[in-house]
């Protein structure tokens, strides 16, 4: 809560102090009288603390300012694109975990053998890959070259095929279109939506996959050295039980922490990935807003990103208690 208040101080400073908010309301034909009226109406001549109080009050009331590039208020504009970003992020997290955890385990179990070296190299490459470039390369290979070779190819941009969506419109229930299409039994669209989701979510998830792999590997190595693992083995438990029942759950704790942090990386990657894949989410909106000096929208995106990150950390804290009963709140 405190942190979120702090974030509003930053966004207030950036949008109201560093940038002149007056510019937002002016055109070249605004008369001096009108300027005076605008200044009075938006309290632009008041001292900063008062302006900040007004700013926070407006935020709390859902008035996040007016976006010029969208020609609509910021909050509804962002809210409309929030599910698209959410869908992309969730899909990316799935890639991250599905790729990261098993390979991390394999790497730890085959410590310093070939699979370990390969996994570590892949993990480091993941961390070092520019996400926007990976997105373009994936498009080139899985859309263009697969198309050229007559192979089944994946769509390169957008969230769905517009012509197909006209024929089988997705009824909005949650806003997460994949989920909506499943709920309403619109499986033709489910297929199309998932096909569109594969490349961008993989590009986005690939960075964090490496991080998860590395942390999974090191925490698994740490756990495997513990006495209770030696005990479990000396009891004659099969290796499978030792690994999956005794070691894995304990090794998951640091991994979950890092997965929470990975949400930050994913949100940060969203503007880049969404731009490359023409994905209609908040990130692309924010990038477009920059070109048009649309500060309220950019600050709105920043606030939402902070909100999501804080919530992600809360979920991580709750998961701790589940993974380690010793942790109580």
Partner 1 sequence: MTSERPSSWSPAIAELKFAGHLLVQNKVVLAGTLIAAAVIITAIVGPVIISPDVATSINLPIRLMPPSSQHWLGTDDYGRDLFEVIILSTRLDVSASLTIVGVDLVIGVLVGAFSGFIGGKIDEGMMRVTDIFLSIPGLVLALAVAAALGRGLNNLILAIIIVGWPGYARILRGQVLAEKERLYVDALRALGIGRLRVIIRHIIPNTIYPVLVQATLDLGGVILTFAGLSFLGFGATALTPELGRLITAGQSYIFQAPWLVAFPGIAILIISLAFNLMGDGIRDVLDPRLRR
When binding is defined by CB under 8 A, the residue of 90, 253, 275, 316 that contacts partner 1 is: 275
Shortest distance (Å) from residue 91 CB to partner 1:
18
Shortest distance (Å) from residue 178 CB to partner 1:
24
Which burial class, exposed, middle or buried, applies to 218 when counting CB atoms under 10 A from its CB (0-12, 13-18, 19+)? middle
Question: What is the spatial distance between Cα 194 and Cα 196, in angstroms, rounded to a whole number?
Answer: 5
Based on its alpha-carbon atoms, the radius of gyration of the chain, rounded to whole angstroms, reads 24
Shortest distance (Å) from residue 130 CB to partner 1:
5
Map residues 109-148 to x or -, x wherever contact with partner 1 holds by CB under 8 A: --------x---x--xx-xxxxxxxx-xx-xx---x----
Shortest distance (Å) from residue 225 CB to partner 1:
11
- Using the minimum distance from each CB to partner 1, give the nearer residue, 37 or 310: 310
When binding is defined by CB under 8 A, the residue of 14, 39, 56, 109 that contacts partner 1 is: 14
Question: What is the spatial distance between Cα 3 and Cα 239, in angstroms, rounded to a whole number?
Answer: 45
- Using the minimum distance from each CB to partner 1, give the nearer residue, 37 or 137: 137
Question: What is the spatial distance between Cα 263 and Cα 254, in angstroms, rounded to a whole number?
Answer: 15
When binding is defined by CB under 8 A, the residue of 268, 316, 319, 323 that contacts partner 1 is: 268
Binders of partner 1 among residues 304 to 323 (CB under 8 A) are 305-306, 309-310
Q: Kindly report the backbone phi and psi dihedral angles of residue 147, in degrees, each rounded to the nearest multiple of 5, phi listed first.
A: -60, -50
Helix, strand, or coil (residue 73):
strand
Which burial class, exposed, middle or buried, applies to 268 when counting CB atoms under 10 A from its CB (0-12, 13-18, 19+)? middle
Question: What is the spatial distance between Cα 212 and Cα 232, in angstroms, rounded to a whole number?
Answer: 26
Q: In this structure, are residues 64 and 300 in contact, taking their beta carbons and an 8 Å threshold?
A: yes
**Binding site residues, partner 1, CB under 8 A:** 2-4, 6-7, 9-11, 14-15, 18-19, 117, 121, 124-125, 127-134, 136-137, 139-140, 144, 264-265, 267-269, 271-272, 275-276, 286-287, 289-291, 293, 295, 298-299, 301-302, 305-306, 309-310
């Amino acid at each position: 809560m405190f942190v979120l208040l702090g974030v509003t101080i930053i966004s207030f400073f950036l949008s109201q102090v560093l940038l002149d908010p007056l510019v937002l309301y002016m055109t070249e034909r605004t008369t001096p009288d009108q300027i005076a009226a605008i200044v009075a109406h938006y309290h632009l001549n008041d001292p900063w603390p008062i302006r900040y109080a007004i700013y926070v009050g407006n935020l709390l009331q859902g008035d996040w300012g007016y976006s010029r590039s969208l020609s609509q208020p910021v909050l509804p504009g962002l809210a409309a694109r929030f599910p698209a970003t959410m869908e992309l992020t969730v899909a990316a997290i799935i890639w991250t975990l599905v790729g990261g955890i098993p390979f991390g385990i394999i790497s730890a179990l085959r410590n310093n053998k070939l699979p370990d070296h390969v996994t570590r190299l892949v993990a480091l490459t993941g961390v070092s890959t520019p996400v926007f470039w990976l997105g373009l390369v994936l498009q080139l290979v899985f859309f263009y070259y697969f198309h050229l070779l007559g192979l089944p190819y994946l769509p390169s941009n957008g969230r769905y095929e517009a012509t197909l969506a006209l024929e089988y419109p997705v009824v909005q229930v949650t806003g997460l279109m994949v989920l909506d299409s499943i709920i309403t039994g619109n499986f033709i669209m489910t297929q199309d939506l998932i096909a569109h989701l594969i490349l961008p979510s993989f590009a986005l998830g690939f960075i964090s996959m490496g991080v998860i792999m590395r942390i999974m590997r090191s925490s698994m190595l740490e756990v495997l050295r513990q006495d209770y693992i030696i005990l479990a083995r000396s009891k004659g438990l099969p290796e499978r039980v030792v690994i999956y029942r005794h070691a894995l759950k304990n090794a998951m704790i640091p991994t979950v922490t890092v997965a929470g942090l990975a949400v930050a990386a994913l949100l940060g990657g969203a503007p880049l990935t969404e731009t490359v894949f023409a994905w209609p989410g908040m990130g692309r909106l924010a990038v477009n807003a920059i070109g048009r000096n649309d500060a309220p929208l950019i600050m709105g995106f920043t606030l939402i990103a902070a909100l999501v990150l804080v919530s992600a950390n809360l979920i991580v804290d709750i998961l701790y208690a589940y993974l380690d009963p010793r942790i109580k709140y």
